[in-house]
Amino acid sequence: MPSQRLDGHVALVTGAGQGIGRGVALALAKEGAMVALAGRTIAKCEAVADEITALGVKALPLACDVGVRSDVEQAVVATVEAFGGLDVLVNNAQTSVQRSLEETTDADIELAWQTGALGTLYAMQASLPHLRARGGGTIVNFGSSTAIEGNAAFGAYAMAKEAIRGLSRVAAREWGRYGIRVNVIVPNALSPAAEDFRDANPERFARMQARIPLGRVGDPEFDIGRAVVGLASDEFTYMSGQTLMLTGGA
């Protein structure tokens, strides 16, 4: 096991059953944090929980649709009841479809908004009293380079992701007095969607990867998860309201 920087900490990670969420959960657990794994597909969260308990760390899989406020509130309550508190909230879950702006529908926007911006807000609001009770804590939300760059076919997704960055800056100002730090990570990592794209389009994927200055797509655990560990640890106690670009220099 690594340094155990988060021994005794309790973390809740949404979208934890695969990809970046799984990587973040594993990274937190390897530093000693007890982790609640929230996701729509409970079997995926249970599989990650098994990986964590095999490390000798406590894990709690939770069925949760972040677009439903009551689901999120119940996930936070279950986490606190199981582990005695909450120190770290990671809002990773997001659902969206890719479509040109001309063809984007209200349903497309609603899906991205409900599971992204609103889901993030629900979790932050539900977690606030528990973070305050611990004398502070860490919230890590996720943005997207596709939103910052304005990539084609990501209109609904970009709206939600940039809303999350604005929400995070406001929360950092309002909740700093409670000792709560709120930051955003913009990742470039090998998610399941990226893996599918790689497998279906190996030449295009190779060209895309070659354009990244560091020459590779990030690893969900080692490149993204360990950055979350850093933000949750005592090493970044004066960082809040910021966007951390983990894109390999792209």
Residues with active-site annotation: 157
Alpha-helical segments (H) within the chain:
19-30, 42-53, 69-83, 106-112, 119-133, 145-149, 155-175, 192-200, 202-210, 226-232
CB atoms within 10 A of CB 222: 13
Longest pairwise C-alpha distance within the chain: 51
Which of 55, 57, 64 has the alpha carbon at shortest distance from 16?
A: 64
Answer whether 33's CB lies under 8 Å from 58's CB: no
Answer whether 28's CB lies under 8 Å from 11's CB: yes
Q: Who's near 211: CB < 8 A, 6+ residues apart?
A: 250
Give the C-alpha separation, 168 to 89, whole Å. 12
